[in-house]
Chain A
Amino acid sequence: MLALDNLTKTFHIHTLGNKVIEALRGISLEVAPGEFLGLSGPSGAGKSTILKCIYRTYLPTAGDIWYESRDCGRINLATTANRTVLGLRSRELGYVSQFFHVIPRVSALEVVAEPLVTRNGILPSVARRKAAELLQRLQIPPSLMDAYPATFSGGEQQRVNIAKAVIWKPRLLLLDEPTASLDLQATAVVMEILRELKKEGTTMIGIFHRQDMVRQITDRLYEIGGQQL
């Protein structure tokens, strides 16, 4: 489904006198359809960088990212046109970021319902109902659903962020510390939702800050800066 071949990412920071920071060097890994791969390694090893390169938030410096797309066949995410990446993002590729970029003046319910309307073509009223169900499951009280997520706590924002990414059932889902600021109970719900998603065929790559969680949910671990376990 996904194969990274010699992925390398270097940052050239011109504002710091053309300082060069090597974030990734020669990463090669493969993910099979339906597999859940965990990324592990010390902080700063480049775990998030890998996910951002796949999502093309970062432009890879060298190497290939081969993805078997449902709609357009085998495609190199490292070099393909921006428009193609946007098309894939809206139909196949999901991403849960570490930090939630809040859109002002849009309620939590609308944030979560929107992808169902724009990506899956579901009626707004139905989408809102489904979004409410999912948020309720993630323990966001109904009284908060019409409020703006900018006013939420870190944990609540993160749950809205997860809801918005899983509700439209992407084909490949990238997870960057989705449970970092959640309590045990909320974490358990998220794990359950991810397990269901996996059962429905979503392929996933995830970074989790807790080792016990990684073992619970992933099929395999890729250690950055070490060997594959």
Chain B
Amino acid sequence: MEITPEKILEVQDLTKIYGPGCPLCLAATGPDYDTNQCPHCGSVVACGQVSLELYPDEILGIVGESGSGKSTLVKLLFFDEEATSGAMHFRGKKFLSQNQAELPPDLSERVNGENLLTLSSFQKRRIKNALMGMVYQYPHLGLRLEVSAGGNIAERLITAAWRHVGNMRQRATHLFEKTEIPVQRLDESPENFSGGMQQRVQIAKALSNNPMFLFLDEVSTGLDLSVQARVLDLLRTLQREFHLSMVAVSHDLGVIRLLTARTMVMKDGRIVESGLTDQILEDPQHPYTQLLVNSQL
């Protein structure tokens, strides 16, 4: 067995600037200046030259305060937002079978060595449907609350080219069992569900296409502690069972400690520190990380 496995996703210098942007934006913002807003043109550098690697079967944590750019980062990875610049390469072709993920043959050829960020929005959507899942902080972003829970799953399956209604129903039932949702509520709309159950429907929906990558944006924020523990526990189990590579964004160091092995700390749109999660928590190097760790309850 290899000790250092190959990466499956490589991101370089990912940058997202809201506003007109100017040549000084990157040089004049960041933790050293204590701002993400460019003093010259007023643009906001939500993500500045962020590089990261993702390996098979791992959960990478992104931690930082509100406005640090961590949600933008994960939305860029999921193609929810269009990057201003940067590169994103998929390296995990040989791990596809392990996840039972499938890439359409023509796409499989294209993603090899190509910068995914430069693909057309149609191709990005196809890659997203084949390989990625996302769980948002707010269920209404990931679900259509007025459509039945099962319908939400079916919708996602249709985008992944499923057509047989019976098969889709069977898949939804299976996912509900895996995410601990009472199967008899399949035809009810998530509007009537509790917050924790809505999150579990989101997770079920995100997993329906057998993704390789699962992105979590503050997935347990706002839930009761007992419900939060249950959702996190579920994610740990699913990660192992489905061989998922996950990026978990949270402002809560407790969530990061529980879920992740590696962590990156963000401030003012930049990564200020990255390391093993226990090292980040017990021997933080950057002043901001030290402040964060020392502020823990």
Contact = CB atoms under 8 A, between A and B. Distances in A.
Q: Do A and B bind each other?
A: yes
Interface of A: 11-15, 52, 56-59, 69, 71-72, 81-88, 91, 101, 103-106, 118
B3 A88 contact: yes
A15 B291 contact: yes
A85 B276 contact: yes
Contacts of B177: none
A105 B230 contact: yes
Contacts of A118: 240
B290 interface: yes
Given A13-B290, A59-B283, A118-B240, A86 B229 contact: no
B287 A15 contact: yes
Given A11-B283, A13-B290, A82-B275, A71 B233 contact: no
B183 interface: no
A3 B229 CA distance: 41
Given A14-B287, A15-B290, A71-B1, A103 B258 contact: yes
A83 B279 contact: no
A17 to B, nearest CB: 11
Contacts of A69: 3
B279 A14 contact: no
A84 to B, nearest CB: 5
Interface string B227-261: 00110110000001000000000000000011001
Contacts of A91: 1, 3
B270 interface: no
A72 B290 CA distance: 33
A51 to B, nearest CB: 12
A90 B159 CA distance: 38
Given A15-B287, A56-B276, 9 more contacts: A12-B285, A15-B291, A52-B283, A59-B279, A82-B262, A82-B275, A91-B3, A101-B257, A104-B233
A87 B3 contact: yes
B133 to A, nearest CB: 22
A84 B4 contact: yes
A86 B282 contact: no
Closest 3 CB pairs of A and B: A14-B287, A87-B3, A104-B229
B290 A57 contact: no
Interface of B: 1-5, 55, 58, 229-230, 232-233, 240, 257-258, 261-262, 274-276, 278-279, 282-283, 285-287, 290-291, 294
B255 to A, nearest CB: 11
A57 B282 contact: yes
A52 B282 contact: yes
25 contacts: A13-B290, A14-B290, A14-B291, A15-B287, A15-B294, A52-B282, A56-B276, A56-B279, A57-B276, A57-B279, A57-B282, A58-B283, A71-B2, A83-B4, A83-B5, A84-B4, A86-B261, A87-B4, A87-B5, A88-B3, A101-B257, A104-B232, A104-B233, A105-B229, A106-B233
Contacts of B286: 14
A133 B81 CA distance: 52
B253 to A, nearest CB: 12
A67 B4 CA distance: 16
Given A15-B290, A82-B276, A87-B3, A58 B258 contact: no
Contacts of B285: 12, 59
A81 B4 contact: yes
A32 to B, nearest CB: 23
Given A103-B258, A104-B233, A118-B240, A58 B5 contact: no
A88 B1 CA distance: 11
B275 A59 contact: yes
Given A15-B287, A15-B291, A69-B3, A57 B233 contact: no
A106 to B, nearest CB: 7
A85 B230 CA distance: 29
